[in-house]
């Protein structure tokens, strides 16, 4: 009996280590049956240098504490704006973008994190700035684990003119009964991959 109990404990510990390995929070969050295309894997500083906070004060860092694939994720440190924003040009990615149904990001929230609102916006940057459309996340987020956040693209967002330049805006906040509550630097969160789903 003791031997069976000991084997059971060892199996449980090995299972836990396979998911957490040396303090790194890891999980497989890739849904089966989807054709995914990664636009940003969060593995190099040059990716993060292409991100802009759109005047929200957010800062972006490579981080190896919370990772779901590869070696790094992007640690997002909010700046106290009404929304924490990550804006990035999708110039050169229009062929990959066109015809896709959804944009996804893999998001880790530490325990008790207040973030519960996610929005994707799309605008034309050149020849003149022009709002295209936006959508709320089709999935909710759970603190303490990796979340596959999915934004279902509207018809206006699915097909873009390859001769123009566009920007996507990822916006995050705490929603309190319809009121947006800013996130602060004490509320960092982690993004490990942004991509498209057919």
Q: pLDDT (tens digit, 9 = 90+) per residue, 9-33?
A: 443 443 343 333 333 333 334 444 5
Q: What is the pLDDT at residue 26? A: 35
Q: What one-character DSSP code corresponds to residue 78?
A: -
Q: pLDDT (tens digit, 9 = 90+) per residue, 47-86?
A: 999 999 999 999 999 999 999 999 999 999 999 999 999 9
Compute φ and ψ for 99, nearest 5 degrees.
Answer: 90, -5
Could you tell me which of 71, 17, 21 has the C-alpha nearest to residue 42? 71
Q: pLDDT (tens digit, 9 = 90+) per residue, 132-189?
A: 999 999 989 999 999 999 999 999 999 999 999 999 999 999 999 989 999 999 999 9
Q: What is the pLDDT at residue 138? A: 92
Q: Where are the domains of the chain?
A: 24-197
pTM for the whole structure: 0.82
Are the beta carbons of 154 and 121 closer than 8 angstroms? no
Could you tell me which of 108, 120, 72 has the C-alpha nearest to residue 189? 108
Of residues 78 and 128, the one with the higher pLDDT is 78
Q: What is the pLDDT at residue 18? A: 38
| CATH entry, 24-197, from 2.60.120.260, 3.90.550.10, 3.10.310.10, 1.10.510.10 | 2.60.120.260
State the Cα–Cα distance between residues 157 and 162, nearest whole angstrom.
Answer: 13
Specify the 3-state DSSP secondary structure of 185: coil
Which residues touch 175 (CB under 8 Å, ≥6 apart)?
Answer: 116, 117, 181
Q: What is the pLDDT at residue 91? A: 84
Could you tell me which of 149, 140, 72 has the C-alpha nearest to residue 103? 149
């Amino acid at each position: 009996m003791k031997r069976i109990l000991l084997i059971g404990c060892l199996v449980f510990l090995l299972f836990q280590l396979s998911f957490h390995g040396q303090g790194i929070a890891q999980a497989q969050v890739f849904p089966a049956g989807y054709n995914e295309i990664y636009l940003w894997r969060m593995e190099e500083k040059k990716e993060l240098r292409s991100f802009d906070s759109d005047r929200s004060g957010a800062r972006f860092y490579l981080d190896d504490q919370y990772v779901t694939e590869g070696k790094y994720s992007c640690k997002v440190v909010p700046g106290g704006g009404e929304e924490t924003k990550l804006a990035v040009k999708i110039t050169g990615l229009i062929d990959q973008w066109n015809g896709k149904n959804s944009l996804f990001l893999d998001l880790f929230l530490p325990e008790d994190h207040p973030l519960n609102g996610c929005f994707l916006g799309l605008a034309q940057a050149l020849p003149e700035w022009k709002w295209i459309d936006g959508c709320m996340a089709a999935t909710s987020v759970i603190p303490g684990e990796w979340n596959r956040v999915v934004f279902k693209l509207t018809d206006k967002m699915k097909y873009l003119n390859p001769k123009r330049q566009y920007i996507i805006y990822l916006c995050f906040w705490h929603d309190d009964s319809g009121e947006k509550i800013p996130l602060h630097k004490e509320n960092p969160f982690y993004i490990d991959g942004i991509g498209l789903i057919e």
